[in-house]
């Protein structure tokens, strides 16, 4: 388990990655619907929208390559959790006329400037 100092540093790195990802997405015309939206199933990093498209974004940030590429941390279990979160987010909203997508934004902070890789439609859920 991470110590308090290490956990705080990890949280700062994660939040910085989310901020960079949000800037990236806004630059591409997306509007923020929610950031760090929580339910009993966990948290969605970013929910953005462009027209009728709602995108649930998982942001993975790394300070070095020692743990591998950040996007590989979005496992099938994480994908299922994000799907449950998306369903919970949409409950009570008029979602019938909207399209949904799951994106991943990988952020590498190891060099300056940071490198971002955006994976639109990174995964689809089985029907």
Phi, psi of 99 (to 5 degrees): -100, 150
Secondary structure of residue 120 in the 3-state scheme: coil
Q: What is the model's pTM?
A: 0.86
Nearest to 124 by CA among 94, 95, 82, 93: 82
- Domains belonging to the chain, first-starting first, are 4-119 (3.40.1350.10)
CA distance 55 to 52: 10
Give the per-residue pLDDT at 4: 59
DSSP letter at 40 equals T
CA distance 93 to 49: 14
CA distance 35 to 50: 15
Per-residue pLDDT of the chain (127 residues; tens, 9 = 90+): 556 565 566 678 788 899 999 999 999 999 999 999 999 989 999 999 999 899 999 999 988 777 778 888 899 999 999 999 998 888 866 665 578 899 999 999 888 899 999 999 998 876 5
Secondary structure of residue 100 in the 3-state scheme: strand
């Amino acid at each position: 388990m991470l110590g308090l100092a290490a956990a705080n540093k990890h949280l700062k790195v994660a939040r910085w990655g989310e901020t960079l990802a949000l800037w990236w997405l806004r630059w591409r015309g997306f509007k923020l619907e929610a950031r760090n939206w929580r339910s009993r199933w966990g948290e969605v990093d970013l929910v953005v929208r462009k027209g009728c498209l709602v995108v649930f974004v998982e942001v993975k940030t790394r300070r070095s390559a020692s743990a591998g590429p950040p996007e590989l941390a979005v496992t099938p279990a994480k994908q299922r959790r994000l799907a449950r979160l998306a369903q919970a987010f949409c409950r009570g909203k008029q979602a019938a006329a909207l399209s949904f997508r799951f994106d991943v934004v990988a952020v590498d902070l190891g060099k300056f400037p940071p490198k971002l890789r955006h994976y639109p439609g990174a995964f689809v859920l089985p029907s």
